[in-house]
Structure 1
């Protein structure tokens, strides 16, 4: 069994519930949607990638030596059988904790105590909201993260309505499309609408490194 890999690197978690912690990253190739503001266009449409065996990927992650591992893309669940096999392989060896960053179109293939999902609900400015799989709300756990990346006021109202409709059990985060909306606007919206269970986040890796840098 193999995985199509774009990047393997060590950095810090730039967002979400583990923001700021050292982490190993596995970025997988290909995506089934095309968000208008995508910042990882180098992960699909024929971009350079390598087919690696599970043991090769596992060895690289072991060498990095971090307990936290984030599997991202593209859309990593397009390679779900191999992702699950990799997690089971590494879980049998040590106390790794996995974050799978997914775009909200596919259901989670593995629910265990050492795996959580970061679901990225796509708001209207993404131009792909109609591809969201609303069944994911039934599969979320309290370990998971529901992330809204917003680029407009309309996106913020969509976030508010989704939360009110589905009452997600996951932790809810909101962040701006980089350069498209002022973080202050998001804060003011949360305060005005009493969204006390939503946490504002900024992608700190884009402030530490160049926003367009890869492998960070």
Structure 2
């Protein structure tokens, strides 16, 4: 199921020639969130205007200095991988118009998942939307009706209040997850106790870091 209307371009060639700055792309296993453990192809776009201080891919913040790839090239590497599930992440992927890339990827029959802060307008043909909102750059209001998964990184009690504020805007049935910040161990017992008291929430762990999966 696609969450956004399709934006048709003039022809297939025009779509395939659209370019994106790409930090990295690779065949892997989704390590966190609702699809943890699932075979996936990751596409990490360059450029971010959120700049979380705990970000472990700060090299993705600047758009300049990264290779530019055509949609046709990205479709080909995904096709060769055989992965049934594509994760578009960043940086902040919604800084780019994702309609051309997602439309072309859907021609392969794959499902498309985006991980976003929601701070830029929503674009693309998307099958699963993970919203990871940040207190210092809030998501747009229009994204909430499309959210499948709300995943909030927790450092302190303020983040738990922030999680509830955003959950109240999400559709009924949205998967609600709290994720400890990797370098903030004190967030783990905070989350564990909160989930015990609020069972509508679950816990997301960065299993790829434990397993050393890229």
Return the alpha-carbon distance in structure 1 between the equivalents of residues 169 and 73 of structure 2: 40
- Residue segments in structure 2 that go unaligned for 5+ positions in a row: 1-17
TM-score normalised by L of structure 2: 0.83
Deviations 1:52-71 (A, max 9, x none): 11111111111111001101
Cα distance, 1:187 vs structure 2: 1.2
Cα distance, 1:7 vs structure 2: 0.3
Q: Structure 1 residue aligned with 2:140, among 126, 133, 147?
A: 133
Q: Is this contact kept in 1: 2:156–2:187, CA < 8 A?
A: no
SS at match of 2:24: strand
Alpha-carbon spacing, 1:15–1:52, altered in 2? closer, same or farther (3 Å) = same
Return the alpha-carbon distance in structure 2 between the equivalents of residues 71 and 162 of structure 1: 22
Pairing of 1:18-37 with structure 2 (within 5 A): 18-37=35-54
SS at match of 1:59: helix
What is the root-mean-square deviation in Å for CA atoms of aligned residues?
A: 1.9
Deviations 1:83-141 (A, max 9, x none): 2212211222x3200101111212322355xx211111114xxxx14x3323322x325
- Residue segments in structure 1 that go unaligned for 5+ positions in a row: 211-215
**Which ranges of 4 or more aligned residues in structure 1 deviate by more than 4 Å?**
none
1:196 aligns with 2:202: no
TM-score normalised by L of structure 1: 0.82
Pairing of 1:67-78 with structure 2 (within 5 A): 67-78=84-95
Deviations 1:166-192 (A, max 9, x none): 254321111011121342320102223
SS at match of 2:72: helix
SS at match of 2:32: coil
SS at match of 1:206: helix
Q: Is this contact kept in 2: 1:6–1:48, CA < 8 A?
A: no
Pairing of 1:77-156 with structure 2 (within 5 A): 77-80=94-97, 83-92=98-107, 94-111=108-125, 115-123=127-135, 128-129=136-137, 131-137=138-144, 139-141=145-147, 144-156=148-160
Q: How many residues align?
A: 195
State the partner residue of 2:12.
Answer: none
